[in-house]
Chains A and B, each alone.
Chain A
């Protein structure tokens, strides 16, 4: 199983809503990532979890709140988003340090629209 599964695939939410994006992998990867990708731009790193601990927060606004409840799951909680937060949100996972040359696997992403 070399899959990263993201749900939902599409999400439309209002600016006052609270929603969560979910990401799951069963490859035993201990590094998991959230990226935000706007149209015609590369993925931008938001958060990195290493061994279920947050290791990088790229100065992301607090309306985005990550959570890693266990080694297979990564959530991104959304609250009071702005229309400019509309984007494709990608989750990825990879082996940790000892296997640096191994690839990262990406989920298909959640296409988020904030109205």
Chain B
């Protein structure tokens, strides 16, 4: 079983749609959680950290459920520029691991 499991996608949505990505992790000792965005042939870049109380940044909302070992990302009012691969990242004391990534394409 992979340490971080993520919705495989791809997601193809129209502009303005709401889309949700999910991720589960197996290491209960995991301490920090993030969503990264990766554009084609570029390095991953931080989209947002994920806090236990949930957090929001504009159109993006991240949630963490430690009991279920589950992370989610909600994107509201999708824009064309949101098209990318979204990767959940889980950190424990010594390592940092990625989910498989979900490819999102937002179409006009």
Contacts and interface: CB of A to CB of B under 8 A. Distances in A.
Q: Is the interface of A mostly helix, strand, loop or mixed?
A: strand
A34 B64 CA distance: 27
B96 A33 contact: yes
B81 interface: no
Given A100-B91, A103-B46, A108-B42, A45 B32 contact: no
Nearest to A94: B96
B101 A42 contact: yes
Interface string B17-48: 00000000000000110100000011111100
A48 B89 CA distance: 15
Nearest to A33: B96
Q: Contact residue range for chain B?
A: 20 to 34
Given A100-B31, A103-B46, A103-B49, A42 B95 contact: no
Interface in A21-61: 33, 35, 41-45, 48, 50, 55-56
Interface in B81-103: 87, 89, 91, 93-101
Interface residues of A, number: 24
A88 to B, nearest CB: 8
Interface in B39-72: 41-46, 49, 51
Contacts of B94: 48, 50, 55-56
19 contacts: A33-B96, A35-B98, A41-B100, A42-B99, A43-B44, A45-B95, A45-B97, A56-B94, A56-B95, A90-B44, A94-B96, A97-B93, A101-B32, A101-B49, A101-B51, A104-B91, A104-B96, A106-B43, A108-B42
Interface of B: 31-32, 34, 41-46, 49, 51, 87, 89, 91, 93-101
Given A56-B95, A101-B51, 14 more contacts: A33-B96, A35-B98, A41-B100, A41-B101, A42-B100, A48-B96, A55-B94, A88-B41, A90-B43, A97-B93, A103-B49, A106-B43, A107-B43, A109-B43
